[in-house]
Amino acid sequence: MLIINKRLDVDETRWIEPIKGLKLKVGSIESHGFKSTNSIVRRHISALDASFKVGTKEFDLSSIGDIDSLDDLLLETCAKHLLIGWEGVGELVDGKEAAIDYTPEHGLALLKQKPELYWAILKTGSDIAQGIKEQQEEAVGKS
């Protein structure tokens, strides 16, 4: 018997509702865009850490000037590659609520306003990747 996995949409995404009335469409952390961009961001963070001697006795917090927020780099990667769509997000226009379509720029604004959503999206993206891997392993095992 073929069991349909209802946790994933056909396009390997999942809708979540991390806050009542807010629905987010999330993709896999195994997507090419996320993996490649996240890899570059992680290398950038490692290079910055090394240049500031993070983790050593020579590290001096006062030596750090204005640099791009590393959090912003992670949030932007999430908004561009993991967060795919939404329902229940809007803005005030002339004092009235108006729904807005998802764009990566709007997604980044939402994640900056509600950074806890980053973790919900990342976990879901990871769960999707794990589900895809399990489905592949199951398919290979049954062939």
Domain membership flag for residue 94: yes
| Domain encompassing residue 27 | 14-142
CA distance 104 to 143: 40
The count of structural domains within the chain is: 1
Query: Looking at the domain assignment, is residue 7 inside a domain?
Result: no
Q: What is the pLDDT along the chain (143 residues), one digit of tens a residue?
A: 445 555 555 578 999 999 999 999 999 999 999 999 999 999 998 998 888 888 899 988 877 766 657 788 999 999 999 999 999 999 999 999 999 999 999 999 999 999 999 999 999 999 999 887 777 777 777 65
Report pLDDT for 7: 54
- 27 lies in some domain: yes
User: Does residue 2 sit within a domain?
Assistant: no
Q: Using CA atoms, how far apart are residues 76 and 66, in angstroms rounded to an integer?
A: 19
Q: Quote the tokens at residue 23.
A: 């629905």
CA 21 to chain centre: 19
Residue 22 belongs to a domain: yes
In a domain, 9, yes or no: no
pLDDT at 62: 78
- pTM comes to 0.79
CA triple 130-23-105, angle to 5 deg: 90
Q: ∠ at Cα 71 (66, 74), nearest 5°?
A: 130
